[in-house]
Chains A and B, each alone.
Chain A
Amino acid sequence: MSDPNPLTTGSKPDKARFVIALALAVLAAVIGWEAWRLAQIPSYSSVGPAAFPTLIAIGLGLLAIANAVEAMKGMDEERPRDEPKPIFWVLAGLVGQIVLLPFLGFSIATGWLFAATAKGFGRGPIWAHFLAGTAICFIIYLVFAKGLQLSLPAGPLERLI
């Protein structure tokens, strides 16, 4: 929540915020292009589907510039380094869940998510967490799928019942 102030003009430009400014510019271009496409479609109403996208694209473009300008002024303080490994584990858990879900069902896929997240936070062994997580998720499945008739994805484990 720190405001970049002119006192720090001497420091190095903030690379990360340049990347963000670039990303905003790309987003502005995508939405602007979409607005142009929508404007080609004839519609009777005075304010059509293209008006808001146009405004938002312009706003994003201006914000890209503003972020770039602030990035030039540099950072006000050094950001602490983030560790990539735990992020990798948590993402592996989330993506793994998506991949496993259709084949192995809710309990096993979500058990994996639990184990990988715990691993990311430095708690192992992963297989023990996987087993415990799967067991707990199986109980959750029973409660929601049977008790409340929610349609959660079923796999080999869920089909046993």
Chain B
Amino acid sequence: MDTFAALSQGLMVALQPMNLVFAFFGVMLGTAVGVLPGIGPALTVALLLPITFKLDPAGSLIMFAGIYYGGMYGGSTASILLNTPGESSSIVTALEGNKMARAGRGGPALATAAIGSFVAGTIATVGLALIAPTIVDIAISFGPEDYFALMILAFTTVSAAFGSSVTRGLTSLFIGLSLGLVGIDLQSGQARISFGVPDLLDGVEVTTLAVALFAIGETLSVAAAGSRAEEVIEPVKGSVFMNKEDWKRSWWPWIRGTFLGFPIGAMPAGGAEIPTFLSYALEKRLCKKPDEFGNGAIEGVAGPEAANNAAAAGVLVPLLTLGLPTSATAAIMLAGFQQYGLNPGPLLFATNPDLVWGLIASLFIANIMLLILNLPLVGMWVRLLAIPRPWLYGGILVFATLGTLGANPSLVELGMLVIFGLLGYVLRRYDYPIAPVVVGLILGPLAEQQLRRALAISVGDPMVLFQTPIALTLYALAALALFGPLLFYLITGRKAPVGGDED
């Protein structure tokens, strides 16, 4: 009951007119920068820190919360409409979302993303308010060997979900893994595959690769098709909003995405990308029309979108309960707290309850505000696709390079954008799937670091990998995903009707 009293106290703080203005401003700003690939909430909050210095702590933290959620939302809008994933966690959204947009179903895709984000954000924020201390204990108990098992699970489920040809899928994945090697090795400090070019020492930026492969690669292949690709994009076919079937097909993916995203987001090394991969793979398995995957399945938007928003709330669990910043944005938020002399940590809930609960309450407000602001705009957003093709693609390239330059004003970064764009074109031309390249780049380095950490801690004893119950459970799931499709279908056969009967 205490929690509810504290939360309603927080709502009182967040609902003050001035704080509502801050939340509104944050949400708008967050959406605007979230749309740009490469420029995310972390960068925006960092740039605003000195400016907000004079505001009162509650107001500016509420604004940061708005930017955070707004940024997630803007990222998915860009993914769906322009195929330029604004954040690494909205890459998966682009897979099905952009296909839907091209088929005149951009409206339902945006709507399921918005409502899914709202549902996930709300459930996850409730989770943050109620069970944060419990969740964080479990999250802390994850060691490097458990994370390694989680990566293995992600690898197996994801590679089972992408593409129909094993050789082609693995080829793409290994190209991504190779790119993941570039840069300074975290454990040994040695430069790898960098050829003495200093700009390569920090490795390949995920958003640069994703934008290049998706947006630039596609621009090149559409241009190359020339007169062949005469089809005009019809922004709206059928209803602008979700029809009854869309609702039915979105509901369970939202819930499942939330329950993948929140706990993994709360893990110190979990991140927001892995739950989106897992959600995509899971929805593909559970979908009654698996052929639609790859051609615009709404489940492939609903699940990952819910997962990434739930993960965004999950990241706040270790931040608020322990003062652990586990993502770039959280690190900046921590700097924001410190700017006001607040030290997030185990004592923050006790020493500054009004502020913490004000922040949690403002997350609710930001969520509702995003929904109210964005749903009516869906119709307007999809009209973007009606722009004549030369201008649309010209605009997409301007956008892609602007985002890359804003995040890192380096010509080498732009050079990489062009090279990876060509790679994307070649892969498309010869029917190699694109997504595994990005998956390899994200998961490869994570898996390597966690494995090496685990082995270093155990002084080289490989048995450490199979000693914790968490790791064993995750390996069992991975084995199930890999070798037990039959078994899996038996389970899904039983589960699917439950999902269908609901609603």
User: Do A and B touch, yes or no (CB under 8 Å, in the complex)?
Assistant: yes
Q: What is the interface of chain A, defined by CB distance below 8 A to chain B?
A: 1-4, 16-17, 20, 24, 27, 30-31, 34, 38, 41, 43, 45-49, 51-53, 56, 59-60, 63, 66-67, 70, 79-80, 82-87, 89-91, 93-95, 97-98, 101-102, 106, 110, 113-115, 117-123, 129, 133, 136-137, 140, 144, 148-153
Q: List 9 A-B contacts (CB under 8 A).
A: A1-B163, A1-B431, A4-B165, A56-B177, A98-B411, A101-B414, A110-B398, A119-B390, A148-B47
Q: What is the interface of chain B, defined by CB distance below 8 A to chain A?
A: 33, 39, 44, 47, 163-165, 167, 170-171, 174-175, 177-178, 181, 185, 187-188, 190, 192-193, 216, 219-221, 223-228, 294, 388-391, 393-395, 397-398, 401-402, 405-406, 409, 411, 414-415, 417-418, 421-422, 425-426, 429-431, 433, 444, 448, 451-452, 455-456, 459-460
The contact of B167 among A34, A70, A115, by CB within 8 Å, is: A70
Contact B170 A63 (CB under 8 A): yes
Bound state CA distance, A150 and B407, in angstroms? 8
**B402: which A residues are within 8 A, CB to CB?**
110, 140, 144, 152
The 7 closest A-B pairs by CB, nearest first: A46-B460, A123-B390, A121-B390, A86-B223, A82-B224, A118-B390, A117-B394
**A82: which B residues are within 8 A, CB to CB?**
221, 224-226, 429
**B44: which A residues are within 8 A, CB to CB?**
148
Name which residue of chain B comes closest to A151, CB basis. B409
A-B contact count (CB 8 A): 189
Contact B405 A152 (CB under 8 A): yes
**B225: which A residues are within 8 A, CB to CB?**
80, 82-83
Contact A20 B192 (CB under 8 A): no
Bound state CA distance, A78 and B398, in angstroms? 34
Contact A38 B190 (CB under 8 A): yes
Contact A49 B185 (CB under 8 A): yes
**A38: which B residues are within 8 A, CB to CB?**
190, 192
Bound state CA distance, A119 and B391, in angstroms? 10
The contact of B411 among A101, A119, A140, by CB within 8 Å, is: A101
Bound state CA distance, A81 and B466, in angstroms? 52
- Given A82-B429, A117-B394, verify A34-B193 contact (CB < 8 Å): yes
Name which residue of chain A comes closest to B186, CB basis. A49
Contact B397 A95 (CB under 8 A): no
- Given A46-B456, A152-B409, verify A89-B47 contact (CB < 8 Å): no
